[in-house]
Structure 1
Amino acid sequence: MKNKGILSVTAFSLLLLIFSACSTSKVAAPDGGGKVKVSGNWTVQNIDFEGISSKGFKVTVFDDAPYSCFVGSQWNLVASGNGTYTLPAGQDCVAGERPIFWGVATENGVPTFSFKKMPGGVKPAKITDGYKLTIKSVTDNSLVLQDDIYFEGKTIYINYHLTK
């Protein structure tokens, strides 16, 4: 039994090391245009959908708030991987800053943005759940992140359009 625990700790440590090694503030642009820095201060300008009409569609995103609460949210992505997102006040929105730990990587040729929510003083290694979005496009001043969710038997996509 002891060896199983050691193996689990070793496997988890290896996963953490891989995630940390992939955590960077730059990613290859999806159009092949070289590396683009993702760190910095971003604002979600709008959110749109593919595969479903947003009219009357309500969904909570990132286990936090309705998607509409994220329009106007501020994302502070520090190159170290630390960061925050701040939701503005609004109907059904709990305004405020949420700490995150984030990174970018390329998986099977697809650039991705991943983050973990970091509740009060917890270290990133202690958090096992997180969120992974596809980087659909990125330039020095714009970023489009796409989240895919399974809904009513099909995959739909939520696109977050951010600007610096």
Structure 2
Amino acid sequence: MKKIIFICMVSVMFFACKSASTTATTQEPLSTKLDRPSQVAIKGNWVITNVTYPGSDYIKVNSFDLADSKCFINSSWKFISNNNKGEMALNSSSCTAFSSPIVWSINNQGLFVLKVVEAGTKAKRVREGYLLKVANLTENSFQLIDNISVGGQTKDVTYQFQRAN
């Protein structure tokens, strides 16, 4: 029995988890009404100060199909609320640098809709995106919460944003 548990633990440590967040195009219809006050509240420049999830010492999470979730710590994000565009940049010294324009919105269900736009691609041609929950929104911080599947169970990945100076 101990051998089976040990094998299970080791296998979980070696398999990276991928985000289980819902893509915006494949699930039930989303509300098209936007939460303008929340969008205006996050307008500006932000930095992800922490990424947390259960088992983070043993499990790797590939966030947004881009990089390991820990590579998002100290990443910079710019949100423009009047046209729902922005930019994000991974700039951790221990990870591959990456930057991209984004298209985003917050619907009236409290879901943050994120699309990463590749260079040379028009945002309207991007058909897939990510749905995250917005939580604890204040003037200087907020969280985006994604879901991952680990061993058939859904776990939350929390991205902690702080307003950049």
Q: 3-state SS of the aligned residue for 2:71?
A: helix
**Corresponding residue number in structure 1 for 2:55:** 53
**In structure 1, how many angstroms separate the alpha carbons of the residues matched to 2:91 and 2:60?**
18
**In structure 1, how many angstroms separate the alpha carbons of the residues matched to 2:129 and 2:154?**
19
**Corresponding residue number in structure 2 for 1:72:** 74
Name the amino acid aligned to 1:128.
R
Aligned-residue sequence identity (percent) comes to 29
**Corresponding residue number in structure 2 for 1:130:** 129
Q: Work out the number of aligned pairs and report it.
A: 134
CA 1:25–1:66: 2 relative to 1, 3 Å = farther
Name the amino acid aligned to 2:59.
F
Asked if 2 retains the 8 angstrom alpha-carbon contact of 1:75 and 1:83, the reply is yes
**In structure 2, how many angstroms separate the alpha carbons of the residues matched to 1:25 and 1:41?**
17
Asked if 1 retains the 8 angstrom alpha-carbon contact of 2:89 and 2:99, the reply is yes
- TM-score, L = length of structure 1: 0.74
For structure 1, the 5+ residue unaligned runs are 1-14, 28-34
Establish whether residue 26 from structure 1 lines up as the match of residue 37 from structure 2. yes
Which of residues 70, 82, 89 in structure 2 aligns to 1:86? 89
For structure 2, the 5+ residue unaligned runs are 1-28
Name the amino acid aligned to 1:121.
G
**Corresponding residue number in structure 2 for 1:146:** 145
**In structure 2, how many angstroms separate the alpha carbons of the residues matched to 1:140 and 1:101?**
21
Backbone CA RMSD of aligned residues? 2.1
Name the amino acid aligned to 2:41.
K
Q: CA deviation at 1:131?
A: 0.7
**In structure 1, how many angstroms separate the alpha carbons of the residues matched to 2:162 and 2:88?**
14
Q: 3-state SS of the aligned residue for 1:56?
A: coil
**Corresponding residue number in structure 2 for 1:38:** 42
Larger relative CO (CA 8 A, sep 6+): 1 or 2?
2
Give structure 1 regions of 4+ aligned residues with deviation exceeding 6 angstroms: none
**In structure 2, how many angstroms separate the alpha carbons of the residues matched to 1:82 and 1:26?**
16
Establish whether residue 157 from structure 1 lines up as the match of residue 156 from structure 2. yes
Q: CA deviation at 1:47?
A: 1.1
**In structure 1, how many angstroms separate the alpha carbons of the residues matched to 2:87 and 2:48?**
13
Q: CA deviation at 1:25?
A: 5.1
Q: CA deviation at 1:36?
A: 6.0
Instruction: Return the structure number with greater strand share.
Output: 1
